């Protein structure tokens, strides 16, 4: 059994764009309630209370001008921070910094050896760029945690992002740095954010370390299993990371209202199992998960719950078979052929 540090604060509920908005801040609270209901708190999972990230920590990634812009919007509480996805509201700066603080807290605890694994379901804001909000994301907690790790002597950090949307903000931040970023995402030429094609593989010191796997609509568990085995595993083996961060967005699930992929709990547990194995093989087990997208609340919560069980005591997973999706998905028709082309093209580009 490996005890897990799980960051949570009731202040996470303040990250609220309104009842009409697809981002629902109560997902994290429901996860904690489900863990409590099944007796996993304390014995398997330690809840840790984050503090807000400081301006100095935010400035590991974000510009002072941008932080000041968010603070002004946080006072006025009107309009949008971006082009229409991320509304401003009173207190948005504070609501965002407590979630960044959650990712920093579990990163610090894992890096310091107090826990082997950490999870901040309230994190995963991978669209935010140094001076720009986007896609419901104000501050990029993942990138801030990576910068913190590198500042504290961790040279090889790998980020694997399985959200249905491309990790465009994280890619922009590390495009010329020797941080490994692997992003699997839906791609059809129109799907948000419209980036993440295979040829976006980094520049300078980051060349060959930005691995984009753009999957066609309705990609199912059959194809995703190949992606894990033929791309993600060998890429991580070759890079040999000292610390891993997994953005565990559940909007690639087949029933997600904003997604275009058809994954089930089978794919989520397989990719988690692979990342967990790589963490123990290369990084002394040091692994941090964040949340991310996930707009079908129950499927998001149950998948995060299963991930928590896996990371603490995988032998107990069979006790929660009612939370598994019953049938794996298969990629239909021409999308299957497109997916095979993508896999082959990625393998060729990265010498796998």
| Angle formed at CA 164 by CA 162 and CA 349, multiple of 5 degrees | 65
Strands 210-215, 180-186: parallel, antiparallel or unpaired by DSSP?
A: parallel
Write the CB contacts of 349 (distance below 8 Å, at least 6 apart in sequence). 198, 199, 201
* Angstrom distance (rounded) from CA 8 to CA 139: 17
Which tokens in the block code for residue 231? 């791309």
User: Catalytic annotation on 117?
Assistant: no
Q: Active-site residue among 127, 185, 253, 276? A: 127
For tokens 């090889």, name the residue: 156
Cβ atoms 180, 156 nearer than 8 A: yes
| Angle formed at CA 193 by CA 191 and CA 198, multiple of 5 degrees | 85
Cβ atoms 222, 231 nearer than 8 A: no
Of the candidates 326, 333, 352, 185, the one whose C-alpha atom is nearest the C-alpha of residue 265 is: 326
User: To the nearest 5 percent, what fractions of the chain are helix, strand and coil?
Assistant: 45, 15, 40
Of the candidates 335, 277, 349, the one whose C-alpha atom is nearest the C-alpha of residue 310 is: 277
Which tokens in the block code for residue 87? 């509304």
What are the DSSP calls for 115-143, one per residue?
-SEEEETT---TT-BTTB-BTTBSS-HHH
Cβ atoms 58, 144 nearer than 8 A: yes
* Residue positions annotated with a catalytic role: 127
């Amino acid at each position: 059994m490996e005890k897990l540090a799980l960051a949570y604060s009731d202040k996470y509920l303040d990250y609220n764009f309104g009842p009409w908005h697809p981002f629902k801040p109560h997902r994290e609270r429901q996860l904690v309630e489900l863990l409590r209901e099944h007796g996993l708190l304390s014995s398997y999972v330690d809840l840790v209370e984050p503090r807000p990230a400081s301006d100095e920590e935010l400035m590991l990634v974000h510009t002072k001008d941008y932080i000041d812009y968010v603070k002004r919007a946080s006072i006025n509480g009107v309009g949008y921070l971006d082009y229409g996805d991320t509304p401003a509201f009173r207190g948005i700066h504070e609501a965002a910094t407590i979630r960044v603080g959650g990712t920093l807290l579990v990163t610090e605890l894992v890096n310091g050896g107090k826990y082997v694994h950490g999870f901040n379901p309230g994190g995963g804001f991978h669209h935010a760029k140094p001076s720009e909000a986007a896609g419901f994301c104000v501050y990029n907690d993942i990138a801030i945690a990576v910068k913190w790790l590198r500042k504290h002597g961790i040279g090889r950090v790998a980020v694997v992002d399985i959200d249905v949307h491309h990790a465009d903000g994280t890619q922009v931040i590390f495009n010329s740095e020797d941080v490994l970023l692997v992003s699997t995402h839906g791609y059809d030429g129109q799907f948000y954010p419209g980036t993440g094609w295979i040829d976006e593989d980094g520049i300078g010191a980051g060349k060959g370390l930005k691995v984009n796997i753009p999957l066609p609509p309705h990609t199912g568990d059959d194809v995703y299993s190949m992606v894990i085995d033929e791309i993600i595993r060998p890429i991580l083996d070759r890079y040999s990371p000292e610390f891993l961060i997994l953005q565990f967005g559940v909007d690639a699930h087949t029933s997600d209202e904003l997604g275009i992929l058809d994954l089930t709990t089978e794919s989520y547990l397989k990719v988690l199992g692979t990342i967990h194995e790589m963490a123990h093989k290369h990084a002394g087990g040091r692994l941090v998960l964040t949340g991310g997208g996930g707009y079908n609340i129950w499927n998001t919560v149950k998948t995060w719950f299963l991930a928590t069980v896996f990371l603490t005591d995988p032998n107990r997973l069979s006790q929660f078979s009612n939370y598994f999706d019953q049938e794996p998905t298969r990629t239909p028709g021409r999308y299957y052929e497109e997916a095979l082309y993508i896999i082959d093209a990625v393998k060729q580009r990265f010498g796998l």
